[in-house]
A and B are shown apart, each in its own frame.
Chain A
Amino acid sequence: MSRASLFVPLAAFVVIAGLLYAGFSLNDPHVLPSALIGKPFPPFDLPALGDATGSPQRYTAADVRGPALVNVWATWCPTCRAEHEELLRIHRESGLPIIGVNYKDNSAQARDWLQRLGNPYAFNIVDATGSLGVDLGVYGAPETFLVDASGTIVYKRVGDVNRAVWEREIKPHVDALQAEASRG
């Protein structure tokens, strides 16, 4: 065994450390990978919840323009019931439009729910089969997305939006979008 061969472990370490350094400067660790952030809202063509009379209006991805929240909800979802008050408050206090995606739900019950509890939504899209939900990667209701003026998803929330989440996570994003818009 020669003295030179004793440097092999050190050399191996230098290679690994170099790799770690390269990998480290490569990834921006602030950006947590999420399949949807930075992507345009997925294309769809679905009816509005509207009222029961007449042929309902249809919406497409072109109608999803922000800054706005897109909230996936359903009447079978107890968390959505808890979240509802907060959505009403957000809409009332910030004026931010909220687009509803009524997910795998009974439309009559959904309309009844909005009549009884108040309607925070600008409009509601009926996703009866969950096809839009699949494209959005929804794994349960509620989920909430923030889209910018070009319809790009900038934020995703799994689970309910409550006061803390709004103040801490969503509002800063909204403020940034609005500041950007005003700068022009």
Chain B
Amino acid sequence: MIPELGHFALILVFVLAFSLGVVPMVGAARGYTTWMRSAFSLAAGVAVFAFVAFGSLVYAFVTDDFSVRYTANNSNSLLPIYYKVAAVWGAHEGSFLLWILISSIWTLAVAAFSRHLPLAMISRVLAVLGWLIAGFAAFSLFTSNPFERALPMAPSEGADLNPLLQDFGLTVHPPILYTGYVGFSVAFAFAVAALLTGRLDAAWARWSRPWTNVAWSFLSVGIALGSWWAYYELGWGGWWFWDPVENASFMPWLMGTALVHSLAVTEKRGTFKSWTVLLALAAFSLSLLGAFIVRSGVLTSVHAFAVDPKRGMFILAFLGVVVGGSLTLYAVRVPLIRSRVHFGGLSREVLLLLNNVVLVVALAAVLTGTLTPLAYEAFTGGGKISVGPPYFNTVFIPLMVVLAIALGIGPTARWKRTGVRFLIERLGAVFAASVVIGVALPLAIAGAFKWQVAAGTALALWVVATHLQDAWLQAGRRAAGLARLSAGYIGMTLAHLGFAITLLGIVVTSHTSLERDVRLAQGGSAQLGAITFTLTAIDRVRGPNFLAEQASVRVDGDGAPYVLFPQKRHYVAGGQVMTEAAIAPGVTRDVYVAMGEPMDDGAWTMRLHYKPLVRWVWVGALFMASGGVLAITDVRYRRLRVRREAAAAVESNA
């Protein structure tokens, strides 16, 4: 009964979202205030029924209702309760329902927090979001209905959630990632509404900015979680593979990063308008492209969901309507009048433009690399080729070097025009110090010179030092002044420090990690750098839904001796075999042991890793995300709203 209720709620989501797409839009075109106002209640209705639909599916999982086909395929009565809930989004149908839920929550949030915007604007924004949700709901209902029953032959037991997904990281990864993906739909909706009304101004940028920041922050955390998960769960010690599905999330992130910066220029200086609109359309278009890549099976990858040609065609058609439609609107409606604001040869505008160019080139490179195998196959009819990390690293690293250098100059540079002499005076000493320390510091710690590490350390120090220097000067050279810096400024600084942290983590871990495949007999040991690993025991242990062989590996030479317990798990329900790596995490380094295969004499092959600063890769992403969120608490957004509400009150009194 409950699954049917969920199914019905999903149908209502479609109907209400469709009305949300039509009624306020017509109202805005004709000037019918009541029709426009209906957007708020329709948005609330969509969200309520999306909650009901999602809650019904959660109920089916928690109560082990295996008469629901999706539950039977993805859950098992042996699963711990938290994985039963997580199993709801463990496969295509449920994860898409989650996508719909998150989409409707964003829409509700826009409706709730944007009542101070002009009615004609906000009703159009909500209507655009309504079209999108209607499209998602139709996709779910027609091609991937999670509520389908497997009656009358209901299985008594479920097939289990893929063991790879039975893990904390993957439990929280999809909701956070989707919140980021779908969040760009708000910037998209604002852009489309602005194109429809012809109102492309600084106010539009100010309205879009907080939403974009939050979406971008979620996407940053989502990508970092995915990378962290791959690191500890796949057992290879790698944290980024340039896999098509990783690229699918990375491309909107690159575009979103460009958008966040371009919106800053449009808000503060009123320039880059048509460019900013294009970025807003592109960021969400790339999110949809990512959805197509993941769910159509057009590019195979470790992440690919079970595929169905009907789904691929539906998403491709949806992509055509949404992206094709919005880009056509852009081409027809964007104002041709060039902005009359001038800026000099060297200014903050120019540096931000450089940022945008670098990020868009990086995006084009990733897009090309992701689609090349497809193009190759389509045009030559040949087999599958892989572009792989060498290509991506070759194009990506020089771009990031340019980005880091420009980023150090950014905060010091002034709007309109900055003297080169001023920049050299202010930053010359910092630059020299960064280079010297960048070379000396890794040499002092590791005792060996590697130019990549030296360059990476110097760049990271450069970004950190220039930002701290600027913050100190902005604060009037007083510690008390730091507290009075605006939230927007602190957020920016935090995010940029995060970039430096991630950069340093990537460079150091890529170039100084140690790795060895060894064969360990009971009592045998192996050496990795200064560390000795000794296999002391192999035991059989029992988990809630798996049996495992667990090794005890003593680690000496890495501070006080400790023991790691890597496992080879055998999941009872599905029969899969999984490697569970054991990691001794740390700020300065991770020590990582993964079990390989058993040998005939009771020995095991094992993979040993020593990974300096690997955690910095993800910690940096957390800094970036917190910077993005902190920036939206800036008083200027609140002040504006109060002023507008006051104006509206005066208007309605008159």
Contact = CB atoms under 8 A, between A and B. Distances in A.
Interface of A: 1, 3, 6-7, 9-10, 13-14, 16-17, 19-24, 26-27, 29-30, 32-33, 74, 76-79, 83, 104-106, 139-140, 157-162, 164-165, 168
A139 B574 contact: no
Contacts of B549: 78
B600 A105 contact: yes
B575 A27 contact: no
Interface stretch (B15-23, B88-96, B122-130, B326-334): B326-334
A1 B338 contact: yes
Interface stretch (B53-61, B370-378, B551-559): B370-378
A64 to B, nearest CB: 23
A132 B543 CA distance: 33
Contacts of A160: 570, 575
Contact of B327 (A13, A21, A79, A106): A13
Given A9-B282, A9-B331, A79 B575 contact: yes
B323 A13 contact: yes
Contact of A3 (B296, B336, B374, B597): B336
Contact of A106 (B330, B334, B377, B600): B600
A13 B285 contact: yes
A165 B378 contact: no
Given A23-B374, A168-B159, 9 more contacts: A13-B327, A16-B289, A16-B371, A23-B378, A24-B296, A33-B384, A140-B577, A159-B575, A165-B574
| Top-7 shortest CB links A-B | A29-B297, A159-B575, A160-B575, A23-B374, A10-B327, A29-B307, A6-B331
B576 interface: yes
B375 A164 contact: no
Given A19-B371, A26-B377, A29-B308, A159 B327 contact: no
Interface stretch (B31-39, B135-143, B313-321, B387-395): B313-321
Contacts of B327: 9-10, 13
A19 B378 CA distance: 8
B157 interface: yes
Contacts of A19: 371, 374-375, 378
Contacts of B570: 78-79, 159-160
B159 A164 contact: yes
A20 B278 contact: no
A30 B296 CA distance: 11
Given A24-B313, A76-B600, A78-B549, A162 B575 contact: yes
B597 A140 contact: yes
Which of A3, A29, A162, A165: most chain B Cβ within 10 A?
A29
B432 interface: no
B577 A7 contact: no
Contact of B597 (A7, A17, A139, A165): A139
A16 B282 CA distance: 13
A116 to B, nearest CB: 20
A56 B426 CA distance: 86
Nearest to B329: A10
A159 B540 contact: no
B566 to A, nearest CB: 15
Interface string B593-632: 0000110101000000000000000000000000000000
A20 B291 CA distance: 13
B298 interface: yes
Contacts of A33: 300, 384
A24 B575 contact: no
A28 to B, nearest CB: 8
B198 interface: no
Interface string B347-386: 0000000000000000000010001001101100000100
Contacts of A26: 377-378
B573 interface: yes
Contacts of B367: 16
Contacts of B278: 9
Contacts of B157: 164
Contact of B316 (A14, A24, A104, A140): A24
Interface in B138-171: 157, 159
B372 to A, nearest CB: 10
Contacts of B338: 1
B600 A22 contact: no
A10 B600 contact: no
Contacts of A83: 575
A163 to B, nearest CB: 9
B577 A17 contact: no
B292 interface: yes
Contact of A159 (B323, B371, B384, B574): B574
28 contacts: A3-B336, A6-B274, A6-B330, A7-B331, A9-B281, A9-B331, A10-B328, A16-B367, A16-B371, A17-B316, A17-B319, A19-B375, A19-B378, A20-B374, A22-B374, A23-B299, A26-B378, A29-B308, A76-B600, A76-B602, A77-B598, A78-B549, A83-B575, A104-B600, A162-B575, A164-B157, A164-B573, A168-B159
Contacts of B312: 24, 29
A166 to B, nearest CB: 10
A164 B575 CA distance: 10
Contacts of B282: 9
A32 B598 CA distance: 29
B318 to A, nearest CB: 11
A10 B328 CA distance: 6
Interface in B10-55: none
Which of B292, B327, B575: most chain A Cβ within 10 A?
B575
A155 to B, nearest CB: 14
